[in-house]
Amino acid sequence: MITIGTRKSKLAMWQTDTVARAWQLQGMETRICGMETKGDKILDTSIAKIGSKGVFTEELEGQLASGDTDIAVHSAKDMQSQLPPGFCLIAFTQREKVNDVLVSDDASLNLDDTSKILRIGTSSVRRRALLQHYYPHLQAVEMRGNLQTRIQKMRDGACDALMLAYAGVKRMGYDPMIVKIFPEDAFVPPVGQGCIAIEAATTLAPEKREAIRSCLNDPDSESCLLAERAFLKTLEGGCSIPAFALAVLEGEEIRLSGGLVSLDGSRIVKTSKTGRRTEAEAIGSELGRSILNNGGRELLLEIRRQQRIDSDTTQEE
């Protein structure tokens, strides 16, 4: 028997059911415990302004620590770059396509048409910044909530289109609504996009940990995620900063591209590193240091200063 903790959203449950089915195919039983996290409950504030790490994971980690659950299933992109003491990621599933996409009921939308100001809904500081860099004539609109909620808000007139991850859109069956797939070399995804991560407490029995890992872990995804997460850890970042990174395997080598964009999209610091996949974490750390030493450190300070100002302004209002 394995007990799985998860958020209650439809996408989170889809991911959890996928993990449970893989385990059941091995002849094992599963039990699923769903719950809401802080990030699910606070929908009127951007993630960057909520003011704590692990907005989608803290409550699930409480269950892991108490032993109520054996593992927690997460979207890898929601995981903070450094987990709290006592927790670890033990597996990464096979990765879906990593691209950002534009979703709308209007298939005729053209982002290059500067004569019309389109409103694009997103909750991501990275997507907002990249939109301002590549499409400065567009208007980004803050949009929180699960996928179904966002689509309803769009249909109610809150925006003209939504910018989302391809993986979630496909998994929820909304891929016929995709009107544009953004190229991954320009709109580089956030760390972990398209992958499911399995978290456990370090106190989980070694034999159970190894059984879960052998059933669920995809070695190629793991190599890429180790590199990307090491990059983000070096930047001391999470989903509240507009950082991006994508690792791609080329035989026994891994190529990691990553960087940082200013909140207003005016500046991008970006580079890449290549090395052996066995050195994935070292490559990620090296790339992070390169970004910091070539303008990224100053840019990070500016981003965090601006976010503090925005947060203070929101509290005053």
Domain 100-181 in the same topology as domain 1-93+196-217: yes
Domain 219-312 carries which CATH code?
3.30.160.40
Catalytic residues: 77-78, 126-127, 144, 150, 239
In terms of CATH, what superfamily is 1-93+196-217? Periplasmic binding protein-like II (3.40.190.10)
Q: In the predicted model, what is the mean pLDDT of residues 41-58?
A: 51
Q: HSE-up of 242 (CA within 13 Å, CB side)?
A: 32
Token reading at 198: 């399995």
Q: In the predicted model, what is the mean pLDDT of residues 151-161?
A: 97
How high does pLDDT run on average in the chain?
90
| Residue 86 backbone phi and psi in degrees, to 5 | 95, 0
Residues 188-244: tens digit of each pLDDT:
999 999 999 999 999 999 999 999 999 999 999 999 999 999 999 999 877 789 999
Residues 90-121: tens digit of each pLDDT:
999 999 999 999 999 999 999 999 998 899 99
Higher pLDDT, 178 or 34: 178
Q: In whole angstroms, what is the distance from residue 200 CA to residue 71 CA?
A: 5
Token reading at 142: 């803050």
Beta bridge partners of 103: 162, 178
User: Would you state the pLDDT for residue 52?
Assistant: 46
Q: In whole angstroms, what is the distance from residue 254 CA to residue 46 CA?
A: 34
In terms of CATH, what superfamily is 100-181? Periplasmic binding protein-like II (3.40.190.10)
Higher pLDDT, 28 or 153: 153
Given the structure tokens 């080598």, which residue do they identify? 253
User: How far are the Cα atoms of 118, 119, 151, 168 from residue 104, in angstroms, in the given order?
Assistant: 11, 11, 8, 15
Instruction: Tell me the domain boundaries of the chain.
Output: 1-93+196-217, 100-181, 219-312
Residues 251-290: tens digit of each pLDDT:
999 999 999 999 999 999 999 999 999 999 999 999 999 9
